[in-house]
Structure 1
Amino acid sequence: MNTETSNDELKPEYDLTKYKVRRVGEGRRLLGQIKLDVDVARVFPDSESVNQALRTLIRLSEKGDIVPRIK
């Protein structure tokens, strides 16, 4: 057990106890980031708008209204 006092500058109101680091396993991939090209990032201001657009595309492709092409 470490009995030394810490000189941590983190403010007390930041509660980091609920966060866990996933170093291995399936969950690690779920926390990754995807880099958008500049032209795409201009259209989608945040991850919520990107996810909404992708879900719409998925629904349309499942209905058969469109067939997405993946290169």
Structure 2
Amino acid sequence: MLDEYDFSDGIRGRFYTSKKVPIFMQLDKDIVIFFKKQASEKKIAYQTLINNLLREYMQKS
């Protein structure tokens, strides 16, 4: 293993493709507040929490 590697010719994100699709969704204010509070307690982003809950719901269906 080398002590240093030269990435000066590297291309950022070349082999990375996101599996997530950015969307715009309007939610009621109280729903957003609820999920932000829950996510804060779990130390995760509220979008991640909502995504996880939607995935769980999807798998149960």
Larger radius of gyration: 1
Please give the TM-score of this superposition, normalised by the length of structure 1: 0.38
Q: Which has the higher contact order (CA 8 A, sep 6+)?
A: 2
Give the structure with the larger helix fraction.
Answer: 2
